[in-house]
């Protein structure tokens, strides 16, 4: 769908559904279809608050789109499951190791493309070592991941997820995303972003 030209280069994350037990955000990103500037809307839910009473997932998305003058029913809707990282997820067994979403994407935002590439680099190191030793238990893979920049950001993001979504009150969400923005940016800079530069070989 097309939006006002002034906003075409802007991307929005809005965490307003959290107080209604949808532990995620509505997004509104710029995109292109056949060279045409368009917008991509969606809603992400970690399902962390799924045991509690909440509206259907479509409702906050439809409400937000309506606020911008769009009717959700006029547009194609697609749904995709996502598997997010949890430090307790098994990541390998002898002769099999997992990468990408099979281990888990970032739980805060559902970001997983850069992670998938990071997992690939670490898995390649583990496979390389296994070939040299002719031993394929992949027993060092978890340690390798945990000590990598990727493992550290995933753990940090998992911890942050366990804090920011269960503290679901509207006042807390406004405090966090609006008033504590400089602190959020600092924490993100130190613990969440730039992990690619910290990959150990």
Q: Which residues bind ligand FAD (CB under 6 A)?
A: 42, 80, 82, 100-101, 105, 110-114, 116
- The torsion angles phi and psi of 96, rounded to 5 degrees, stand at -135, 130
Nearer to ligand FAD, 82 or 184 (CB): 82
CB of 29 to ligand FAD, least distance (A): 7
How many of the other CB atoms lie within 10 Å of CB of 103? Answer: 28
Closest residue to ligand FAD using C-beta atoms:
112
d(CA 30, CA 138): 41
- 157 neighbors 108 (Cβ within 8 angstroms): yes
- Give the list of residues 6+ apart from residue 61 with CB closer than 8 angstroms, or none: 26, 41, 42, 43, 72
User: Which of 51, 28, 30 lies closest to 166 in space, CA to CA?
Assistant: 51
Nearer to ligand FAD, 14 or 180 (CB): 14
- 57 neighbors 31 (Cβ within 8 angstroms): no
Diameter over CA atoms, the chain: 62
d(CA 195, CA 201): 13
CB of 101 to ligand FAD, least distance (A): 4
Nearer to ligand FAD, 121 or 174 (CB): 121
CB of 12 to ligand FAD, least distance (A): 13
Nearer to ligand FAD, 42 or 140 (CB): 42
Nearer to ligand FAD, 31 or 52 (CB): 31
CB of 42 to ligand FAD, least distance (A): 6
Task: Please give the DSSP secondary-structure letter assigned to residue 148.
Answer: S
Nearer to ligand FAD, 47 or 174 (CB): 47
CB of 20 to ligand FAD, least distance (A): 21
d(CA 75, CA 72): 6
CB of 34 to ligand FAD, least distance (A): 20
């Amino acid at each position: 769908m097309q939006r006002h030209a002034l906003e075409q280069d802007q991307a929005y994350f809005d965490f307003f559904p959290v107080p209604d037990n949808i532990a995620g955000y509505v997004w509104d990103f710029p995109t292109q279809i056949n060279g045409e500037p368009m917008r991509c809307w969606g809603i992400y839910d970690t399902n962390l608050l799924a045991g509690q009473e909440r509206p259907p997932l479509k409702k906050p998305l439809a409400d937000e789109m309506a606020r911008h003058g769009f009717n959700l029913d006029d547009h194609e809707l697609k749904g995709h499951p996502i598997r997010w990282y949890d430090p307790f997820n098994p990541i390998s067994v002898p002769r099999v190791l997992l990468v990408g979403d099979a281990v888990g994407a970032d739980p805060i935002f559902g970001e997983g493309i850069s992670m998938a590439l990071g997992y690939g680099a670490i898995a390649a190191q583990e496979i390389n070592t296994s070939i040299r030793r002719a031993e394929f238990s992949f027993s060092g893979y978890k340690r390798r991941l945990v000590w990598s920049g990727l493992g550290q950001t995933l753990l940090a993001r998992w911890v942050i997820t366990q804090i920011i979504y269960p503290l679901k009150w509207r006042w807390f969400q406004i405090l966090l995303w609006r008033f504590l923005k400089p602190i959020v940016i600092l924490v993100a800079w130190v613990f969440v972003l730039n992990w690619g530069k910290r990959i150990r070989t």
